[in-house]
Amino acid sequence: QVQLVESGGGLVQAGASLRLACATSGRTFSGYAMGWFRQAPGKEREFVSGISSSGGSTDYSDSVKGRFTISRDNAKNTVYLQMNSLKPEDTAVYYCATGRTLLYSGPHYPISSYDIWGQGTQVTVSS
């Protein structure tokens, strides 16, 4: 019954920045690894970034490495994705996710491990 709610998406020009937020319910948020994924029209959902339950380890896809930063604020039950130097190819619906098996886990697992998803927030980057 955990719920994830993303926010912060929007329409921006190439080179701009956005910060996405994922608010979570549940008292055990701090114990779970979290991930951000995205899905563009006609493409498969793909891993973007992940953060371990402790916040001490992170992982990024090659396409966003050096531009995006994932973080978490356990006091606010929220995970963030700071996106800088946005490119048109970053256009997608962005989802945050966790999994029932990801208690005290690392920053990146196979997508099948993520079985709790938010509704998504649209990010559109124009040329």
Q: What is the residue-averaged pLDDT of the chain?
A: 95
CB-based contact 2:26 (threshold 8 Å) = yes
Least confident among 6-10, 25-29, 93-97? 25-29
pLDDT at position 1 over 80: no
SS3 76: helix
Which segments of 1-127 are extended strands (E)? Answer: 4-7, 10-13, 18-24, 34-39, 46-51, 58-60, 68-73, 78-83, 92-98, 116-117, 121-126
What is the average per-residue pLDDT within 82-99?
Answer: 97
Give the integer Cα–Cα distance in Å for 2 and 21.
16
Q: What pLDDT was estimated at residue 25? A: 85
